Amino acid sequence: MGAVEHGANVCISKRAVEGRSKGKEMAKYTTLKDVAQKAGTTIGTVSYVLNGNGERYISEETRRKVMEAAEELHYIRDKGASSLKGGHRRLIGILIPQFENQFFTRIVMAAEAVFVKHGYDMIITNTLDDPEREKSIIRRMLEQRVDGIIVTPTAKGAENTELARSVGMKMVVVDRPLEGVNDYYWVTTNNYGCGFKGIEYLMSMGHRKIGYIGWNSGILDLAAREKAALDAAGDKAMVYVENGEFSAAEGGRLTRKILEEHPDITALFYGFNIQAQGGVNELRRMGLTIGRDISVMLIGTPMWTYTGLNDFSRLDMGDFELGKTAAQVLLDQIQGKPMQPKQYIHDCSVIEGDSVLKIN
């Protein structure tokens, strides 16, 4: 086929033409009434046949006629209308910082698998770490009458989720905490443990001068990674710290800076994978071979590490596990299982690769 120019198609359906004359026209759906009419019965009966879950007697004859009519008329139930009378909308709201970060897309994919299996749809949005945006998104999700929310909050998350909590919305917080709030469901990684294990591993490989590069997030729980790194080093090793913004470019800049200031550093520990990406680029541009001239330890499993060059040593955060747990905990709440707000803390595990050289 010659795909370059097909030429715009001029065929327009009859419906479109009618619509245009009236200005904005909307999709037209068949209603229960239409189906009832065609099947020669009443709305109530049709409702029972198509969506009913009570125990009501319906003859085979009627059932068949209703089914046929619904099929022919392309009946599609209006979930908004049905949720008016009690019942769930089967809709979940998800707020993550950014789609571009694999850590979050993995969480979402894992959660999605659970939700799809249970017949739930998801409204997914990037907050881009903007609290204003987070606030308005949450409000909009409530307006859509979602059955529950999964959120990785911004720094103002506690305040922004207040409205949701005030109406009793089911909620699961993932990764970052809701600071200042205490009775909520929280699925997260053991950030402190993560930082601790990272330094522990580097020390076990003989490193004593280590650079830690992190993010000034304003989120206490994330800062725990840094604190843990220092605690793990104790007086057995020296950990130099550089914090900056959450971007690849910044990671590169901090990497150059820390190595200039402390040329005796033998290993770098990156707390955040976006920064690590820029950092690793920078190291390679500087002509250093990772795992030989300099050792590198990461937190997380970003896509850019799949380059065939290094099989990076890192702390696996169990991304998929987090998403799966979050979805399961939210569903349990929605389905009314007796349970209490609680923290589900997943431990990190060290994955040994080739980016850390054993010295001495």
Cα 181 to chain center, whole Å? 21
Bridge partners, 189 (sequence order) = 346
What distance in Å separates the CA atoms of residue 247 and residue 151, rounded to the nearest whole number? 21
Closest to 271 measured CA to CA, from 209, 225, 205: 225
**Is residue 91 a contact residue for DNA (CB under 7 A)?**
no
The number of residues that bind DNA (CB under 7 A) is 34
**Is residue 10 a contact residue for a copy of itself (CB under 8 A)?**
yes
For 220, the token pair is 């206490």
**Is residue 126 a contact residue for a copy of itself (CB under 8 A)?**
yes
Positions in 65-104 near a copy of itself (CB under 8 A)? 74, 76-81, 83-84, 86, 88-91, 98-100, 102
Cα three-residue angle 246-249-253, rounded to 5 degrees: 100
**Is residue 53 a contact residue for DNA (CB under 7 A)?**
yes
Residue from 116, 218, 293, 352 touching a copy of itself (CB under 8 A): that is 116
Positions in 179-238 near a copy of itself (CB under 8 A)? 182-183, 190-193, 220-221, 224, 227-228
Among the candidate windows 32-40, 61-69, 152-160, 296-304, which touches a copy of itself by CB under 8 A? 296-304
What distance in Å separates the CA atoms of residue 241 and residue 53, rounded to the nearest whole number? 60
Residue 54 binds what, of DNA, a copy of itself, none (CB under 5 to 8 Å, by partner type)? DNA
| DSSP character string of 6-61 | --------HHHHHHHHTSS-------HHHHHHHHTS-HHHHHHHHH--S-----HH
Residue from 50, 158, 238, 249 touching DNA (CB under 7 A): that is 50
| DSSP character string of 89-115 | --EEEEEES-TT-HHHHHHHHHHHHHH
- What does DSSP say about strands 349-351 and 313-316: parallel, antiparallel, or unpaired? antiparallel
**Is residue 44 a contact residue for DNA (CB under 7 A)?**
yes
**Is residue 12 a contact residue for a copy of itself (CB under 8 A)?**
yes
What distance in Å separates the CA atoms of residue 334 and residue 171, rounded to the nearest whole number? 9
**Is residue 58 a contact residue for DNA (CB under 7 A)?**
yes
**Is residue 9 a contact residue for a copy of itself (CB under 8 A)?**
yes
For 203, the token pair is 């020390």
Interface map 32-61 toward a copy of itself (x if CB under 8 A): ------------------------------
**Is residue 21 a contact residue for DNA (CB under 7 A)?**
no
- Contact 272/97 with Cβ under 8 angstroms? no
Positions in 314-353 near a copy of itself (CB under 8 A)? 334-336, 338, 340-343
**Is residue 89 a contact residue for DNA (CB under 7 A)?**
no
Residue 85 binds what, of DNA, a copy of itself, none (CB under 5 to 8 Å, by partner type)? DNA
What distance in Å separates the CA atoms of residue 288 and residue 68, rounded to the nearest whole number? 70
**Is residue 359 a contact residue for a copy of itself (CB under 8 A)?**
no
**Is residue 287 a contact residue for a copy of itself (CB under 8 A)?**
no
Residues binding DNA (CB under 7 A): 29, 31-33, 40-45, 47-48, 50-54, 56-62, 75-78, 81-82, 84-87
